[in-house]
């Protein structure tokens, strides 16, 4: 698959992911990851695709940890 991902689109996705991570809200992070994956599937994956994979894994683990689930209430 040819990578047709524009640099400006990638920059916007990086900014959105960074802001979501800094907010600490798992819903925002998972939403940013899902949005990025949808675009990557259409336009190709960037070299640093693992940033989104790590955020996805980290915040899914965070969300499933019983201690943190109760701490968010």
Average pLDDT of 11-38? 94
44: left (phi over 0), alpha (psi -120 to 50) or beta: left
pLDDT at site 59: 84
pLDDT at site 70: 45
Answer yes or no: is 49 within a domain: yes
Helix axes 7-23, 50-64, angle to 10 degrees: 20
Answer yes or no: is 2 within a domain: no
Count the domains in the chain.
Answer: 1
- Full 3-state SS string of 26-65: HHHHHHHHHHHHHHHHHHCCCCCCHHHHHHHHHHHHHHHC
Q: DSSP label at 17?
A: H
pLDDT at site 34: 95
pLDDT at site 20: 94
Which residues constitute the domain of residue 41? Answer: 7-72
Mind listing the pLDDT tens digit for each residue in 25-73? 888 999 999 999 999 999 999 999 999 999 998 888 766 555 555 444 3
Answer yes or no: is 60 within a domain: yes
Tokens representing residue 47 in the block = 């070299």
Answer yes or no: is 1 within a domain: no
């Amino acid at each position: 698959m040819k990578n047709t991902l524009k640099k400006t689109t990638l920059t916007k996705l990086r900014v959105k992911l960074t802001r979501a991570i800094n907010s600490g809200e798992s819903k925002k992070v998972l939403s940013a990851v899902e949005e990025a994956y949808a675009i990557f599937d259409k336009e190709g994956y960037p070299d640093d695709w693992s940033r989104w994979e790590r955020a996805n894994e980290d915040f899914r683990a965070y969300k499933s940890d019983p201690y943190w689930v109760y701490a968010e209430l």
